[in-house]
Structure 1
Amino acid sequence: MEMSLKLIDLTQTLKPSMPVYPGTEPPIFVKSNTIDDDGFAEKKITMYSHTGTHVDSPAHMLKEKSTLDQLDIDTYRGNAFVINVSHLEGKTIEQSFIAQFEDEIKKAEFVLFYTGWDERWGSPGYFEDFPVLTVEAAKYLCSLNLKGLGFDCISVDEVGDTKMKNHKMIFSYNMIIIENLCHLRSLVGSFIQFSCFPLKIENADGSPVRAVGMIV
């Protein structure tokens, strides 16, 4: 019997008018060639390596840690558990809250957090008041032998936080971070097969990904 597989696109669309981290610029798309003039269509795309739905490498903030191309390709796929934190608007995600899911997390390779902020994509509110891990919660998650953590918001730290404690804690364990995910709402409380393969860029501190959830 053929196995039924449902694919869920967890990726925001890259386009010129899209939210980007404050201080950076949206991507620029230029038509280099057209079918009418050249017989083929091609665009020149200029953008930051952390644009849209993307993965952060540990070397994004820690010089001694791995770039994306140095990590094994298997790093970017695995079993994921989705946790609902959408009720914590403007609050922190405490270790005690996450600990109630420890049995599930120990069966996973990724934890994905549904904040609901993907529904604010394109509005000023996207950059404000999303739930953020405490450093203790981040350290606790790092102790559970995960490949990475994913979020449907702009950052694992508050926008404007120059210390980036959560990023650095997670990177110190050579884990990856996936930001700007979407469509996690229907997956809350579920295990999915998750993939977030980056472009193969030399010395990559980050890369856009096509994040996908697979339900068997």
Structure 2
Amino acid sequence: MKYTDLTYTITENMPVYPGTEKPVLEKLEIDGYRETLFHMFSHTGTHMDAPYHVFKDGRKLEDYSIEEFTGRAAVIDIPQGTKTIEPEMLKSAEGFEFVLLRTGWGSKWGRDEYFDGFPVLSLKAAEYLTGLRLKGIGLDCISVDEVGMNELPVHRVILGSGMLIIENLACLEMLPAEVTFTALPLKYADSDGCSVRAFASY
């Protein structure tokens, strides 16, 4: 069995969603032992969105069973230059529990262009995925919606179905077409989202 870590390391100078404060990792040493005090938003780095992120009565991450954070995943290549991901690009997702969209955009991680022009799902594509009864969708981009689109229409379609969204995945280029995908968030109260440790095995 091979394992690939799909998670970006959290650092104080890491890329964050425009307008969001960067994390602060306060290093403490008290009586000979060390701890770190974290100051960061719940959607920092490689992270998971829960329905509660956009719906006041939506399901929260702590409401999900551990089994819902793992499952068989189809890794789908999105052609370079794609601006809008349409349903016909996603047919190989049928029969899986997760779909991972490999757009190649992760190669821009750490640069300003990471936040602009990345492929996004059309509403029809989002609706198509919800019809497959997936556990979730992951991708190597900052968001399933364009940056600055405050209405978050694609988020609302996907999260409204109860599916999870995992954004800012790393190293998708290393994966075969089918993997077992796992993304584990912290279990905290009223969780709208959380940074995760995501990995694939195959």
TM-score range for the pair, normalised by the shorter chain length? over 0.9
- Aligned counterpart for 1:116 among listed residues 104, 107, 121: 104
Q: Specify the code of the residue in structure 2 equivalent to 1:93.
A: I
Counterpart in the other structure of 1:199: 186
**What pairs up with 1:47-196 in 2 under 5 angstroms?**
47-89=40-82, 91-99=83-91, 101=92, 105-187=93-175, 190-196=177-183
Q: Specify the code of the residue in structure 1 equivalent to 2:13.
A: S
Counterpart in the other structure of 2:20: 24
Distance 2:68 2:79 in 1: 27
Distance 1:31 1:211 in 2: 25
Q: Offset of 1:148 from its aligned partner? A: 0.3
Q: Offset of 1:86 from its aligned partner? A: 4.5
Q: Note the residue ranges of structure 1 that are not aligned, 5 or more in a row.
A: none
Q: Specify the code of the residue in structure 2 equivalent to 1:147.
A: K
Distance 2:79 2:89 in 1: 13
Counterpart in the other structure of 2:3: 7
Higher strand share: 2
SS in 2 for 1:178: strand
TM-score, length of structure 2 as denominator length:
0.97
Moved more, 25-34 or 123-132: 25-34
Contact (CA 8 Å) 1:86, 1:131: kept in 2 or not? no
Q: Offset of 1:22 from its aligned partner? A: 0.8
Q: Offset of 1:88 from its aligned partner? A: 3.2
SS in 2 for 1:41: strand
Spell out, residue by residue over 1:127-177, the C-alpha distance to the aligned partner (whole angstroms, 9 max, x if none).
011111000000001100100000111000000011211000001101100
User: Which structure is larger by alpha-carbon Rg, 1 or 2?
Assistant: 1
Contact (CA 8 Å) 1:93, 1:134: kept in 2 or not? yes
Q: Offset of 1:106 from its aligned partner? A: 2.4
Q: Specify the code of the residue in structure 2 equivalent to 1:13.
A: T
Spell out, residue by residue over 1:75-119, the C-alpha distance to the aligned partner (whole angstroms, 9 max, x if none).
100000101114134x100112223x2xxx222100000111211
Q: Specify the code of the residue in structure 1 equivalent to 2:21.
A: E
SS in 2 for 1:155: coil
Q: Offset of 1:20 from its aligned partner? A: 0.4
SS in 2 for 1:11: coil
Q: Offset of 1:28 from its aligned partner? A: 0.2
Aligned length: 202
Q: Note the residue ranges of structure 2 that are not aligned, 5 or more in a row.
A: none
Contact (CA 8 Å) 2:140, 2:167: kept in 1 or not? yes
